[in-house]
Chains A and B, each alone.
Chain A
């Protein structure tokens, strides 16, 4: 290529620009001459292409038959093993694929090999002509004139007002899409029962209460509040707020802030499992590092720093559930969370202040 270079590297790039429009241009040579295909000149080749197309359509017929046989011959009786379903799915798919691809490739092959392949040129027409524009303007003028809307501003203005207001009911009617949020997000099932009885920590999902003695060093429990499974309504709503992770580590490692010293029992701590980012369950506990990891967006919380965020998109620590042990040795929540759990919402700070007032 060296001896054909268009000059040195410095002048091969930006080519003279001044007066480019006056520079003579290459003339459009027009549509290239049409080249005949084999099937255009050789009747044998055309016959061969014809047979190929017919064969492809034949394959399609076979595909349709495969589908029908697979549908009727394989019966999904009750308790049919998953292998049967896999087999049927594969056969239905192969059948459909042959049926469709046979037709599709057949038609395309027919078009490419046998139908005329002359490229033709067609003039484009103006999308709008000046004549049409003027005619349209005249028509609009006539229409406006006949309505008299310009001469009668009273009609125009009252109509505008009415039309502007008319959609309001259409918005208002959606007012019952949902209830007012009030402070629903600030309360969970962990609040002590009205008679003052404290809620026990129970295993997720079976709901059996957990004894402090069951929680060995280094272990972790997925926890729901006692009584959750017995709810007849709104069980998932309550569960979405109240799920908790229970872990036991060396009490030396916990560094409780003032006021939280009695929230743990013997190195056992409970934290909300709902990520403070956008609400996924923080389900992964790294026992060695004492980190909690949210699998959705990788927010990482450090248990030894009261679940402070050490990595990822979450901003706030996971709320801690204050726990103690009741007379029978079961773990109980001494109160509800002291702040709303889960993702941040606009009124959250108000609810935090109310709770701690």
Chain B
């Protein structure tokens, strides 16, 4: 046993003062181990992986700009007379919340800019979360082992909408007040507890004097805290799973191919934060968002035409618009047992959003059940290589977009000079047939693209050059692919339908039959990847053109 007191030759002594500080910290937190683990961790690269980064960075921008705004905003609904520098509203009676929002805009230097940054970043945040989720869905990144991270992401989508809506209402201007009025109407339509819920939320009758300060607490404390918690869980799982990668040569479910975190990936990802911030700053500089001074303070009496919520609430608002309140002389709203069942509000407010979010949360398990696929997937699907999933996704997307478009039905009518009623009738029809058309078209397009891939893999790509053969025939020269490019087109799985299998009692139960039926629906239309044998055959088939292609291939390969 050596004594601790004797200096050990192997003990590290830092030479510079910076080194000594680093060493001090390292000895106490074990930074070397962390750096050893993560410093060169490999991240795959693809432009579509940026959406998640945009979401994360816009959230950081929201925290920064939001903190600034809280120093000046006063969430009080007490009455005051405006005394700031925006003359058109001078002496107008309004709430302190609205007055302080005006002061941020007109009397705090940079306040207008921060409001603009905050609102644009919020719109971008929800948008990037949504697009990121579309990317994850269409590439199959939600499959094992990432199902739970998909759920965390879905929760983040809901939270981002909640954050957006609570913030949207805070300035207490005419537009946001009407938004709250609609929320109040929807809440009141809830059976049994609706009226009480409304009174509890607003602290009495609408609008009361409590709602802004309550929403403020939710907006700056509870919702961001939950979002932060979910982001931590989300990123933790990304580290545990390591990132997915697109299919390609050298990539398989057992490895991860990409750039090391330090320096390239960290530089690209870190630099990207500044780019996102810069783009938000440009939008804030030149594009007015939510000019609350034009709307005036909230008043239950006036309203302006063309009122619209922020984009992410649009699909619910659109669904509310699409629902007919009367069908002929039959009222959709019903009195049963002396109580009101407000189906004309309840159904559109809850059912479409309910279906969208339920399917979204459950989808990884639905597909897992149908395919009986319990393997880990780290290589993504190209959307065309999973035609049915892609078609389901597009059907849902189109359904969402129809409702979203309906939220602007009046603007569609005025901009395109068509009758408002006709716009609504068309959108009502599209609400039902739009997803069906989207499903069929998407599936056919995906299969066609797969066939195109086969064609290219087997026969090479078209060069656009026409050659006349000695006997007079014209052909277009096709350049064969190199093996790397070809592997990208053929290196995928094309699962066949799984027939029903008897369980341990030797019985094919009803559930299994249903699963087999769905499996057939999922996979019956499919295009198998090209095989080497087919490539061989394709070359034999070419026969006469072989010589021309061989002569051309050298040239075309090199560019």
Closest to B61 in A: A100
Write the nearest CB–CB distance from A116 to chain B, whole angstroms.
Answer: 7
Residues from chain A with Cβ under 8 Å of B201 in the complex: 177-178
Extra A-B contacts (4), CB below 8 Å, given A93-B285, A120-B258, A222-B301: A107-B271, A278-B320, A313-B345, A343-B342
Offer 12 A-B interface pairs, CB within 8 angstroms, sorted by A. A15-B527, A76-B107, A88-B110, A93-B286, A104-B271, A127-B241, A177-B201, A181-B198, A296-B182, A315-B325, A345-B194, A349-B339
Whole-angstrom distance from the CB of A115 to the nearest CB of chain B? 5
From residue 366 to 415 of chain B, which have CB atoms closer than 8 A to chain A? Answer: 376, 378, 409-410
**Which residue of the partner chain B has the closest CB to A60?**
B274
Contact B274 A177 (CB under 8 A): no
Once bound together, how far apart are the Cα atoms of A122 and B338, in whole Å? Answer: 68
Binary flags per residue of B269-284, CB closer than 8 Å to A gives 1, else 0: 0111111111101101
CB distance from A353 to the nearest CB of B (A): 8
A103 within 8 A of B: yes
Is A97 in contact with B333, judged by CB distance below 8 angstroms?
Answer: no
User: What residues of chain B lie closer than 8 Å to A74, measured between beta carbons?
Assistant: 109
Residues of A within 8 A of B184 (CB): 278-279, 343
Selected from B186, B199, B321, B529, the residue in CB contact (under 8 A) with A25 is B529
Q: Is B418 part of the contact surface with A, judged by Cβ < 8 Å?
A: no
Pair A280/B113 contact, Cβ less than 8 Å: no
Contact A205 B420 (CB under 8 A): no
Interface residues of B (CB under 8 A from A): 41-42, 85-87, 105-110, 112-113, 116-117, 145, 178, 181-182, 184-186, 188-196, 198-208, 210, 240-242, 249-250, 252-260, 263-264, 267-268, 270-279, 281-282, 284-286, 298-307, 317, 320-326, 331-333, 335, 338-340, 342, 344-345, 348, 376, 378, 409-410, 420-421, 424, 447, 451, 454-455, 458-459, 462, 475-476, 478, 483-484, 486-487, 490-491, 494, 496, 525-533, 538, 542
Instruction: Assess whether B267 is in contact with A107, with CB atoms less than 8 Å apart.
Output: yes
B195 touches A120 (CB 8 A): no
Q: Which among B271, B323, B410, B487 is the interface contact of A28 at CB below 8 angstroms?
A: B487
Chain A residues whose CB sits within 8 angstroms of the CB of B484 once the complex forms: 29, 32
**Closest 7 interchain pairs by CB?**
A93-B285, A278-B185, A104-B274, A107-B271, A31-B250, A101-B278, A315-B333
Contact with B along A219-247 (1 / 0, CB 8 A): 00010100000000010110111010000
Contacting pair B195 A347 (CB below 8 A): yes
Partner of A122, one of B252, B255, B298, B342: B255
Q: Quick one: which of A31, A111, A295 contacts B257, CB cutoff 8 A?
A: A31
- Give A290-319 interface residues, CB cut-off 8 Å to B: 295-299, 309, 311-316
A169 at interface by CB-CB < 8 Å = no
Instruction: Using A16-B528, A105-B275, A121-B250 as known contacts, say yes or no to A313 and B323 having CB atoms under 8 A apart.
Output: yes
B325 and A345 contact, CB distance less than 8 A: no
Contact (A345, B271) CB under 8 Å given A295-B305, A315-B332: no
Indicate if the CB atoms of B109 and A76 lie closer than 8 Å. yes
When the two chains form their complex, are residues A82 and B86 in contact, meaning their CB atoms are under 8 A apart? yes
Closest Cβ of chain A to B245, distance in Å, is 10
Residues of B near A179 (CB, < 8 A) are 199, 203-204
Smallest CB gap from A92: residue in B? B113
Q: Assuming A76-B109, A107-B270, A122-B255, is B285 touching A94 (CB within 8 A)?
A: yes
Chain B residues whose C-beta falls within 8 Å of the C-beta of A199 in the assembled complex? none
Which residues of chain B are near A313, meaning CB under 8 Å?
Answer: 320-325, 344-345, 348
Give which listed residue, B87, B240, B451, contacts A6 with CB less than 8 A: B451
- Report whether A237 and B307 are in contact in the complex, using a CB–CB cutoff of 8 Å: no
Residue on B nearest A15 in the bound complex, by CB: B528
**Separation of A91 and B462 alpha carbons in the complex (Å):** 51
**Is there contact, CB below 8 Å, between A178 and B202?**
yes
Residues A299 and B478 in contact in the complex (CB < 8 Å), given A28-B250, A28-B487: no
Q: Is the CB of B299 within 8 A of A97?
A: no
Measured between C-beta atoms, what is the minimum distance from B300 to chain A in Å?
4
Kindly state the separation between the CA atoms of A285 and B186 in the bound complex, as whole angstroms.
25
Contact indicator A26/B320 (Cβ below 8 Å) = no
For residue B237, give the distance in angstroms from its CB to the closest CB of chain A. Answer: 10
CA distance A4 to B332 in the complex (A): 60
CA distance A295 to B455 in the complex (A): 54
Residues of A at the B interface (CB closer than 8 Å) are: 1, 3-6, 12-17, 20, 23-26, 28-32, 71, 74-76, 78-80, 82, 85, 88-94, 96-108, 110-112, 115-117, 119-124, 127, 174, 177-181, 184-185, 204-205, 222, 224, 234, 236-237, 239-241, 243, 273-274, 277-281, 283-284, 295-299, 309, 311-316, 342-350, 353
- The minimal Cβ–Cβ distance linking A123 to chain B, given in whole angstroms, is 6
Per a CB cutoff under 8 Å, which of B85, B340, B533 touches A345?
B340
Known contacts A71-B109, A119-B259, A124-B255: A26-B490 contact under CB 8 Å: yes
Residues of B within 8 Å of A345, CB to CB, are 188-189, 194-195, 198, 340, 342
Q: Are B255 and A121 in contact (CB under 8 A)?
A: yes
**Contact between A100 and B277 (Cβ–Cβ < 8 Å)?**
yes
- Are the C-beta atoms of A243 and B301 separated by less than 8 Å? yes
* CB-based contact B378/A97 at 8 Å: no
Given contacts A3-B475, A315-B326, contact A107 B274 (CB under 8 A): yes
Closest residue of B by beta carbon distance from A16: B528
Q: Chain A residue with minimal CB distance to B478?
A: A4
Residues on A with beta carbons closer than 8 Å to the beta carbon of B462: 1
CB distance from B185 to the nearest CB of A (A): 3
Q: Which residue of A lies closest to B330 (CB)?
A: A315
Q: Which of B87, B203, B322, B424 contacts A79 (CB 8 A)?
A: B87
Kindly state the separation between the CA atoms of A257 and B499 in the bound complex, as whole angstroms.
66
Chain B residues lying within 8 Å of A93, measured Cβ to Cβ, are 113, 116, 281-282, 284-286
Question: Inside 8 A of B409's CB, which chain A residues have their CB?
Answer: 298
Residue from the set A13, A222, A313 with the largest chain B CB neighbour count within 10 Å:
A313
Q: Quick one: which of A23, A85, A299 has the most chain B CB within 10 A?
A: A85
Q: How far is the CB of B249 from chain A (nearest CB, A)?
A: 5
- The answer to whether A24 and B242 touch (CB under 8 A), given A237-B206, A309-B325, A316-B333, is no
Partner of B532, one of A24, A92, A274: A24
**Could you say which residues of chain B place their CB within 8 Å of the CB of A108?**
267-268, 271-272, 275
Q: How far is the CA of A14 from the CA of B303 in the complex (A)?
A: 58
Question: Within the assembled complex, what's the spacing in Å between the Cα atoms of A110 and B491?
Answer: 33
Which chain A residue lies CB-closest to B331? A315
Rounded to whole angstroms, the CA-CA distance of A295 and B302 in the bound complex is 11
Q: Using CB atoms, name the residue of chain A closest to B285.
A: A93
**Complex Cα distance A3/B219, Å?**
64
Inter-chain contact A79/B306, CB cutoff 8 Å? no
In the bound complex, how far is the Cα of B272 from the Cα of A14, in angstroms? 43
B-chain residues with CB within 8 Å of residue A23 when the two chains form the complex: 528, 531, 533
Query: Which residues of A sit under 8 angstroms from B196, Cβ to Cβ?
Result: 178, 180-181
Shortest Cβ distance from residue A254 to the other chain B in the assembled complex, whole angstroms = 20
A120→B264 CA distance, assembly (Å): 12
